[in-house]
């Protein structure tokens, strides 16, 4: 049995979906353990190009079982739309290859509504939410004001629970936001439609994973977003509302005692960030547009243009440390091929001092990047599949990143397709 987590080292969008899709070959079970339908994991394979939101990226591999653990925000409505869209393109999804934890909490229609209402209330100060209801969902979960998916098997108790929840939630929707209340009939109809669809997939995923582990099956834990968006360790409050760290994989999956043998951190060869919050290396003007276009840096979920900049090694080092990465995948190296010289940020200048330490979130807005320039390779590397065929300046770029962040780079990705990768 091998347990491995694939996690984001930076602000998300590092190319985790593409790495999970590639690595599932050696794994029997792929588990999403946190976050919800706000993810946009892009996968390009023999079926075409997909942006997966809630489904684990192992869904394309025959024989792989995909699990949504207790830690995810179970958006049954969007999950169903995602399943149907995949089926329409020839991908099989059934209770044989998708198992959903009966302990996962349901993301309810008012969570999405409350998310949008709160962003509107914040106006110019909004967090840049994807408005998928994630923040209201997790705050309700920790207030014990959500419904566990397994309650669908107890209709009488569920009806009572729903009525209690609505009484409370309507006070917030009407009193705080001046919005309309939800009627019990409307909520019950939603539960009936969405609940009926997902019921066949629900099970005790903890028991399933324990027996899979006992049988020696290999488990791959797929994270959403990256270390800098982790609720506890990221750039709070511009984080997500769940824990995006590998450390949460055991808890959020249903296998709380599992020890991870490996943590593969995914790092993009330059920096991108979608939404609000401090972003020390941000480029503007022509240089930003050029990098954004070269990398196709538009959000997979929202289509929003991503903020872009040179690789921030200070933030990356912090991400590697908090994730406890044992190996790295460096993605999108091919995107930098247009540059003759490539800047990287090796330190921050903060209040007149140079530092390599990632500071407290509020101090980040005062930090300035200290840049060094590395030689570019200035040729197309998207067809390269062997390390020795990579131009020397590209090899030096990879080696410089590796040395700076203190973790071996095992995979170098040079294109979005499954096979466009160099194994070192």
Nearest partner of 146 among 202, 49, 75, judged by Cα: 75
Helix (H) or strand (E) holding 44: strand 41-45
Using CB under 6 A as the binding criterion, the count of chain residues that bind ligand GDP stands at: 22
Does 41 help bind ligand GDP (rule: CB under 6 A)? yes
The verdict on 112 binding ligand GDP (CB under 6 A) reads: no
**Closer CB to ligand GDP, residue 44 or residue 370?**
44
Query: Should residue 220 be labelled a site residue for ligand GDP when binding is judged by CB under 6 A?
Result: no
Which of 13, 82, 113, 230 touches ligand GDP (CB under 6 A)? 13
Three-class SS state of 296: coil
Catalytic residue among 41, 111, 140, 230: 41
Could you confirm whether 41 is annotated as catalytic? yes
Residue 416 lies near ligand GDP (rule: CB under 6 A) = yes
- 14 lines the binding site for ligand GDP (CB under 6 A): yes
Supply 392's token pair: 């020397």
- Of the candidates 197, 170, 172, the one whose C-alpha atom is nearest the C-alpha of residue 183 is 170
Tokens at 354, concatenated: 């140079």
Binding track, positions 283-322, relative to ligand GDP; x by CB under 6 A: -------------x---x----------------------
Question: Helix, strand, coil % (nearest 5) of the chain?
Answer: 40, 25, 35
Residue from 335, 398, 407, 422 touching ligand GDP (CB under 6 A): that is 335
Beta carbon of residue 33, minimum distance to ligand GDP (angstroms, whole number): 15
The least distance separating ligand GDP from the CB of residue 102, rounded to whole angstroms, comes to 27
* 61 interacts with ligand GDP by CB under 6 A: no
CB atoms within 10 A of CB 382: 13
Helical axes 184-198 vs 155-170, angle rounded to 10° = 130
How near is the Cβ of 268 to ligand GDP at its closest, in Å?
A: 8
3-class secondary structure, 248 = helix
* Shortest Cβ 251–ligand GDP spacing (Å): 21
H helix runs in 123-237, sequence order: 134-142, 155-170, 184-198, 205-214
- Which residue's CB is nearer to ligand GDP, number 55 or number 212? 55
Nearest distance in Å: CB 263, ligand GDP: 15
Stretch that binds ligand GDP, among 9-17, 65-73, 167-175, 192-200 (CB under 6 A): 9-17
Decide: is 414 part of the binding site for ligand GDP (CB under 6 A): yes
- In what helix (H) or strand (E) does residue 293 lie, and over which residues does it extend? helix 285-295
Rounded (10°) CA dihedral 204, 207, 208, 213: 150
Please list every residue from 158 through 187 that binds ligand GDP, using CB under 6 A: none
Angle value at C-alpha 408, between 407 and 410, nearest 5 degrees: 140
First to last CA, the chain: 24
Question: Which residues lie near ligand GDP (CB under 6 A)?
Answer: 8, 12-18, 40-42, 44, 296, 300, 331-332, 334-335, 413-416
Catalytic positions: 13, 41
């Amino acid at each position: 049995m091998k347990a491995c987590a694939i996690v984001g080292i930076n602000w998300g969008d590092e190319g985790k979906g593409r790495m999970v899709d590639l690595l599932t070959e050696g794994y029997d079970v792929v588990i999403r353990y946190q976050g919800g339908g706000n993810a946009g994991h892009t996968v390009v394979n023999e079926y075409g190009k997909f942006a997966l939101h809630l489904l684990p990226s192992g869904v394309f591999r025959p024989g792989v079982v995909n699990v949504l653990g207790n830690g995810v925000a179970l958006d049954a409505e969007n999950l169903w739309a995602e399943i149907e869209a995949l089926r329409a393109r020839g991908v099989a999804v059934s209770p044989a290859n998708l198992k959903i934890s009966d302990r996962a909490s349901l993301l309810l229609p008012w969570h999405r509504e409350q998310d949008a209402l709160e962003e509107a209330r914040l106006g110019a100060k909004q967090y840049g939410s994807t408005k998928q209801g994630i923040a209201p969902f997790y705050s309700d979960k920790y207030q014990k004001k959500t419904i566990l998916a397994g309650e669908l098997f107890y209709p009488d108790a569920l009806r009572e629970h729903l009525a209690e929840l609505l009484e409370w939630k309507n006070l917030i929707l009407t009193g705080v936001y001046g919005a309309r209340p939800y009627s019990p009939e409307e909520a019950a109809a939603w539960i009936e439609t969405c609940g009926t669809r997902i019921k066949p997939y629900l099970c005790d995923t903890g028991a399933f994973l324990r027996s899979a582990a006992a049988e020696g099956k290999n488990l791959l834990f797929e994270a959403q977003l990256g270390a800098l968006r982790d609720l506890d360790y990221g750039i709070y409050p511009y984080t997500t509302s769940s824990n995006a760290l590998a450390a949460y994989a055991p808890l959020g999956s249903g296998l709380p005692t599992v020890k991870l043998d490996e943590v593969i951190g995914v790092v993009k060869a330059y920096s991108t960030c979608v939404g609000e919050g401090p972003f020390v290396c941000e480029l503007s003007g022509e240089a930003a547009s050029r990098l954004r276009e070269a990398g196709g840096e538009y959000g997979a979920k929202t289509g929003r243009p991503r903020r872009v900049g040179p690789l921030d090694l200070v933030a990356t080092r912090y991400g590697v440390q908090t994730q406890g990465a044992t190996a790295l995948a460096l993605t999108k190296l091919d995107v930098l091929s247009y540059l003759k010289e490539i800047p990287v940020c090796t330190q921050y200048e903060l209040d007149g001092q140079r530092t390599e330490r990632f500071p407290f979130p509020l101090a980040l807005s005062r930090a300035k990047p200290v840049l060094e320039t590395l030689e570019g390779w200035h040729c197309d590397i998207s067809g390269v599949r062997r390390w020795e065929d990579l131009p020397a300046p590209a090899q030096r770029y990879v080696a410089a990143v590796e040395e700076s962040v203190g973790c071996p780079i095992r995979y170098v990705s040079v294109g979005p397709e499954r096979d466009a990768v160099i194994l070192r």
